[in-house]
Amino acid sequence: MGLFDSVGAADVLSAIEEYDKLGGEEFLGRYGFGRARDYVLWHQGRTYDSKAILGVARKYAEGTPATSEDFRGGVGGAATLLTELGFHVTSTDVYGGFGMPVTGGWRGLTEVGAEAAYDAWATAARDVLLQAAHRYRAVVDDDQLAMQAMYRTGIRTDAPVGDWLAAVLGRVAADCQAREEPLLPALCVGADGQPVPAYAEAVASARGLAPPDPRDHALRERLTCYRHFRAVGLPADGGSEPRTRRPAAARARPRATTPRTPTPRTSAVAPARRPTPPPVSTCPTCFMALPVTGVCDTCG
């Protein structure tokens, strides 16, 4: 019989609950584990040290926890066991290029089928977006979201993210609506920091109507997410409501001028010129004037 054969999903959840109660440092110190260097367990928007969680889960199954020594030479096995129990585990180096996913190998989109791939990616994407929702003003880049979804599911595609992101975010939005949660896809942004084009489609699929102003809608929905999930760093007053911003070019209005008939000068001394006002620094995201701190009050 293997060391973890008796460990079930309920035991893992009990270990996670203990981790949350004690805090990461005390939990790891109590059971003699270090920080995860290869794989982390994701659960309800938070990350956990995969070996430590599985080791302590054995305590709830057998009465005695596994030690870090029990994992020597078998780090990947812990990740595989947690995955088989229905948990999401991913490499700690998600930016190092596509390595081997925890599932043991890659499958292509055509091999799995589009609908099955979208369902799997949506489940993974929800966890990634939940992680952002727990940190005030955090967002997730669409390329990062795609990479995380592929790593966690072992399903990959060479198609551009924009070709399939709407299908994934639409599923996430529908799931949020069913759970009576704010829409997590509001936390997905493009390289410019603006909501991805797929956001409007996601809102429409969940609520039946696309927002007339997706950017303004996403800002408000994002703040609702931070409040709903009690994000770390959320101000005591619940954070500030985002205000609708227009690009600087749209706000600028030409000043009306009345042509004057030039008059001959009677003095050789040039008239005093009004001092030129210094240029106003503006936020590159919302185009509003920045305070003296240089940090936008709305965008951070």
% of the chain surpassing 70 pLDDT: 72
Whether the per-residue pLDDT at 50 is higher than 80: the answer is yes
Q: What is the secondary structure of 120-183 as a DSSP string?
A: HHHHHHHHHHHHHHTBTT--EEHHHHHHHHHHHHTEE--S-HHHHHHHHHHHHHHHHHHTT---
Q: Give yes or no: residues 136 and 112 share one domain.
A: yes
* Residue that finishes a domain, picked among 31, 62, 91: 91
Of residues 278 and 210, more confidently modeled: 210
Structure confidence at residue 207 (pLDDT): 93
Angle (CA) 116 209 187, round 5°? 60
Cβ distance 228 to 182 under 8 Å?
A: yes
Strand 107-108, strand 155-156: pairing: parallel
- DSSP code at position 37: S
Q: Give yes or no: residues 212 and 156 share one domain.
A: yes
Structure confidence at residue 49 (pLDDT): 87
Whether the per-residue pLDDT at 54 is higher than 90: the answer is yes
Mean pLDDT, to the nearest integer, of 62-90? 79
Q: Give yes or no: residues 50 and 148 share one domain.
A: no
* Position 229, amino acid: F
Q: Give yes or no: residues 28 and 123 share one domain.
A: no
Collapsing DSSP states into helix, strand and coil, what is residue 254? coil
For residues 275 and 245, give the distance between their C-alpha atoms in angstroms, rounded to a whole number: 30
Q: Give yes or no: residues 114 and 218 share one domain.
A: yes
Weakest-pLDDT range from 64-73, 152-161, 182-191, 243-252: 243-252
Residue 71 belongs to what domain range? 9-91
CA atoms within 13 A on the CB side of 277: 3
Q: Give yes or no: residues 149 and 205 share one domain.
A: yes
* Residue that finishes a domain, picked among 57, 91, 125: 91
Q: Give yes or no: residues 120 and 189 share one domain.
A: yes
**Selection from 145-159, 210-224, 239-253 with the highest mean pLDDT:** 210-224
Whether the per-residue pLDDT at 266 is higher than 60: the answer is no
Within 10 A of 248 (CB to CB), how many other CB atoms are there? 14
Q: Give yes or no: residues 149 and 206 share one domain.
A: yes
Weakest-pLDDT range from 36-45, 237-246, 264-273: 264-273
Of residues 156 and 42, more confidently modeled: 156
Question: Would 66 be classed as within a structural domain?
Answer: yes
* Residue that finishes a domain, picked among 202, 228, 254: 228
Number of domains in the chain: 2
* Position 185, amino acid: P
Collapsing DSSP states into helix, strand and coil, what is residue 234? coil
Sorting pLDDT into bands at 50, 70 and 90, what band is 191? confident
pTM score, whole prediction: 0.56
Sorting pLDDT into bands at 50, 70 and 90, what band is 6? very high
CA atoms within 13 A on the CB side of 257: 6
Weakest-pLDDT range from 36-45, 87-96, 280-289: 280-289
Cβ distance 132 to 187 under 8 Å?
A: yes
Whether the per-residue pLDDT at 95 is higher than 90: the answer is no
Mean pLDDT, to the nearest integer, of 266-281? 42
Q: Give yes or no: residues 22 and 134 share one domain.
A: no
Which tens digits make up the pLDDT trace of 108-141?
A: 898 999 999 999 999 999 988 998 898 899 999 9
Mean pLDDT, to the nearest integer, of 22-41? 86
Structure confidence at residue 279 (pLDDT): 47
Question: Would 221 be classed as within a structural domain?
Answer: yes
Question: Would 220 be classed as within a structural domain?
Answer: yes
Weakest-pLDDT range from 4-8, 189-193, 286-290: 286-290
Token look-up 């929905």 returns: 221
Structure confidence at residue 174 (pLDDT): 96
Question: Would 286 be classed as within a structural domain?
Answer: no
Which tens digits make up the pLDDT trace of 161-177?
A: 989 999 999 999 999 99
Question: Would 161 be classed as within a structural domain?
Answer: yes
Residue of 127, 80, 74 whose CA lies nearest to 105: 80
Cβ distance 51 to 68 under 8 Å?
A: yes
Structure confidence at residue 45 (pLDDT): 59
Structure confidence at residue 91 (pLDDT): 65
Of residues 282 and 236, more confidently modeled: 236
